[in-house]
Amino acid sequence: MAYGVFNAIETVIIGGWFVIIGYFLLLFVYFLLFRFRESKNPFHLGFGLFFLLLGVARVFYLIWDYYQQDVIWWMSATVVSWLAIFTIFLALTFQILERQFWQVILISSPPLIVAILTLIFPYLFWSPQIAGDITIGYAIANYVILPLYVIVLPALFFYIGLQLTGQLRRSNFLLGTGFLIYYGGRVIQPFSWFLDSIYPFLANILAPILVFIALMLIALGVLLEERE
């Protein structure tokens, strides 16, 4: 692919990502202006900032993937993505642990540390696409820390759901499933070459579809919680 020159499939993929970015922004506005303004609950503020950061990161990834292969865009996208994970875990642990400060910081800080280190020492975290090989930071961040958080995040929602009944239980199960699908896609991302060997652009086609499904489940879970 020549940067800035797209075929029909790539154009559709880019359009799909822009739809998803718009949906991220809608969720941010919903949590900030409706949920947080009424509840004053930091949990809702954290959720809103999480979706805002995901939207910003996706814009940077789109620029990196399709418009300008400058390492600054990859670094910006990576840093913001890890900040998004930090934000959602900070909100969740703050809610679950009932404001036990040090426990909250201990659980939620690793993604923040990865974001800061990526910003200061980007060459240690370069992806194989940039470095030509797997760097130490990339391996630790994407094969150790990220999978751990991908498992823990949905598990927290499933755990909360098991403690509840009715609509709130279904709400948390939908949220857990949505986040599992969303971040599960990031875990299999290093194996996208296999999908592309089956059909060209298959990995890039599946990615926005999985994210859209995940966001639908998350939005439905949020609506069920609101109606309880």
Domain parsing of the chain, residue ranges: 8-227
Q: How far is CA 147 from CA 45, 61, 189, in A?
A: 25, 20, 12
Q: What is the pLDDT of residue 53?
A: 96
pTM higher than 0.75 for the full model?
yes
Q: What is the pLDDT of residue 186?
A: 66
Q: What is the mean pLDDT of residues 171-193?
A: 78
Instruction: For residues 172 and 52, give the distance between their C-alpha atoms in angstroms, rounded to a whole number.
Output: 21
Q: How far is CA 88 from CA 2, 29, 46, 54, 207, in A?
A: 36, 16, 6, 11, 21
Instruction: For residues 130 and 46, give the distance between their C-alpha atoms in angstroms, rounded to a whole number.
Output: 32
Averaged pLDDT of the chain: 85
pLDDT band at 227 (very low <50, low <70, confident <90, very high): low
Q: What is the mean pLDDT of residues 87-116?
A: 85
Contact call for residues 181 and 210 (beta carbons, < 8 A): yes
Q: Is the domain covering 8-227 a CATH 3.40.462 domain?
A: no
Residue 187 backbone phi and psi in degrees, to 5: -65, -35
